[in-house]
């Protein structure tokens, strides 16, 4: 196992800022993501757009950028138009593009090194995400732990070969899937975090307690952090308090969405009662989160504001330790 890169970074700076939504920024730039591979399609056709978005987030203050591999998988989907070999190449390419952006960003600072070198987290979305029908917000896929492990194993292998700083198991809605991923990463340890999409303040979308799945994730020696993503901001503080007893010394990571709801049929976001206008990063930090960013429908402006808030907090309390 490699050293815990998150704790090493947090010893230098008491917080880490994640990037925001990749897909929403691409849509804002005019790209059509109505495709089974989602951002993976743009990675194939226009990697420069991915590169620019990563760079925008680094300039906004992100310490960690997440790759465009979220919806790439080896599911036999003729509609995707990509062969398994092409999918493998795209998985690896997503990491290469992100690492090249980090190198470019660092080069711009020349002889003025940053306190923390930006990191690359290789995104690995849920089985439900790869169905491209919004199932990552449902869970209960009807597959066994063994079947889910067989689905994820080649994806993990391809990402590890490209040597990211860590793997981000994201938007997980299902306890069986959590067990499958935990088993895989325990047998082939690689630094990672687990984040879950949640239905309310206590449960993920399949109805399992968030405490239980975080406990499963945190039992792995390779797990560096666990928490919540693509969940309304209004639920985050309660969820942080809910998972703290289950962390087993791991860091807390949160990157909520805008609070809007995705309509898969219409391929659009709706502004429901959960929508919030701000991200209370200070509250989340005080509750124990040390990795904070945004997910769907958040952009560089939100990330810059999170950076500003956490920087202010750290200046007033520079020796704040990690809270687990």
What pLDDT, in 10s, does the model give residues 194-233? 999 999 999 999 999 999 999 999 999 999 999 999 999 9
What pLDDT, in 10s, does the model give residues 151-187? 999 999 999 999 999 999 999 999 999 999 999 999 9
Contact indicator for 132, 71 with CB cutoff of 8 Å: yes
What pLDDT, in 10s, does the model give residues 19-39? 999 988 999 988 887 877 878
Contact indicator for 228, 256 with CB cutoff of 8 Å: yes
Please provide residue 168's backbone torsions phi and psi, each rounded to the nearest 5 degrees: -105, 105
Contact indicator for 151, 142 with CB cutoff of 8 Å: no
What pLDDT, in 10s, does the model give residues 116-132? 999 999 999 999 988 88
What pLDDT, in 10s, does the model give residues 100-115? 999 999 998 765 667 8
Instruction: Say yes or no to pLDDT of 13 above 50.
Output: yes
Predicted TM-score of the model (pTM): 0.92
What pLDDT, in 10s, does the model give residues 234-253? 999 999 999 999 999 999 99
Across the range 277-292, mean pLDDT stands at 92
Confidence of residue 89 (pLDDT cuts 50, 70, 90): very high
d(CA 127, CA 249): 28
| Domains along the chain with CATH numbers | 5-316 (3.20.20.330)
Paired with 204 in beta bridges are 198
Other beta carbons within 10 Å of 265: 7
Give the distance from CA 215 to its chain's centroid. Answer: 18
Closest C-alpha among 282, 212, 206, 287 to residue 252 = 287
Instruction: Say yes or no to pLDDT of 263 above 50.
Output: no
């Amino acid at each position: 196992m490699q050293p815990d890169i998150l704790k090493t970074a947090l010893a230098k700076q008491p917080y880490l800022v994640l990037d925001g939504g990749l897909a929403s920024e691409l849509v804002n730039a005019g790209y059509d993501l109505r495709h089974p591979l989602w951002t993976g399609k743009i990675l194939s056709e226009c990697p420069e757009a991915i590169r620019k978005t990563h760079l925008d987030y680094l300039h906004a203050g992100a310490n960690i950028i997440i790759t465009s591999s979220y919806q790439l998988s080896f599911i036999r989907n003729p509609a995707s138009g990509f062969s398994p070999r092409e999918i493998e190449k795209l998985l690896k390419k997503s990491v290469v593009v992100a690492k090249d952006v980090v190198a470019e960003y660092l080069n711009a600072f020349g002889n003025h090194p940053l306190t923390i070198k930006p990191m690359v987290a290789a995104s690995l979305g849920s089985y439900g995400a790869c169905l491209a029908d919004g199932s990552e917000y449902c869970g209960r896929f009807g597959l066994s732990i063994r079947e889910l492990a067989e689905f994820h194993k080649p994806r993990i292998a391809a990402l590890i070969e490209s040597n990211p700083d860590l793997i981000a198991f994201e938007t997980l809605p299902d306890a069986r899937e959590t067990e499958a991923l935990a088993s895989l990463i325990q047998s082939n340890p690689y630094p990672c975090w687990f984040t879950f999409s949640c239905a309310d303040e206590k449960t993920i979308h399949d109805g399992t307690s968030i405490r239980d799945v975080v406990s499963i994730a945190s039992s792995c020696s390779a797990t560096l952090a666990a928490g919540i993503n693509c969940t309304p901001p209004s639920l985050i503080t309660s969820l942080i308090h809910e998972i703290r007893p289950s962390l087993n010394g791991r860091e807390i990571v949160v990157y909520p969405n805008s609070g809007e709801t995705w309509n898969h049929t219409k391929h659009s976001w709706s502004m429901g009662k959960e929508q919030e206008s701000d991200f209370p990063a200070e509250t989340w930090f005080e509750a124990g989160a040390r990795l904070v960013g945004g997910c769907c429908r958040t952009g560089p402006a939100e990330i810059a504001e999170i950076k500003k808030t956490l920087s202010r907090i750290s200046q007033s309390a520079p020796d704040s330790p990690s809270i687990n």
